[in-house]
């Protein structure tokens, strides 16, 4: 497997793991708030989807920029002959 694919797989695994750690408790909190406000199923779905969407976009952008910076630093340390 080439280096690009390995890096992409590693990034995907890290992003998914970070997403799980963030989203599972956040989902619980959102649903708890929705239940306390007596939301129906549709309102709860819309609330969860909206909040989790924006958090996921911010998370994905952050992880992507981190890996891009890390990969750029790795390629810039090689000496040119």
Could you read off the pLDDT of 13-61 as tens digits, one per residue?
999 999 999 999 999 999 999 999 999 999 999 999 999 999 999 999 9
CB 26 within 8 A of CB 55: yes
In a domain, 81, yes or no: no
pLDDT (0 to 100) of residue 52: 96
Which pLDDT value is given to residue 80? 55
CA distance 4 to 21: 26
Question: What pTM was estimated for this model as a whole?
Answer: 0.76
Write down the pLDDT at residue 81. 54
Confidence (pLDDT) at 16: 95
The total domain count for the chain is 1
pLDDT at 4: 87
């Amino acid at each position: 497997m080439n280096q690009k694919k390995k890096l992409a797989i590693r990034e995907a695994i890290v992003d998914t793991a970070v997403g799980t750690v963030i989203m599972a408790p956040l989902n619980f909190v959102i649903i708890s708030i929705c239940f306390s406000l007596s939301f129906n199923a549709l309102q709860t779905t819309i609330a969860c989807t909206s909040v989790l969407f924006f958090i996921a976009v911010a998370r994905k952008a952050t992880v992507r920029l981190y890996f891009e910076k890390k990969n750029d630093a790795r390629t810039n340390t090689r000496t040119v002959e």
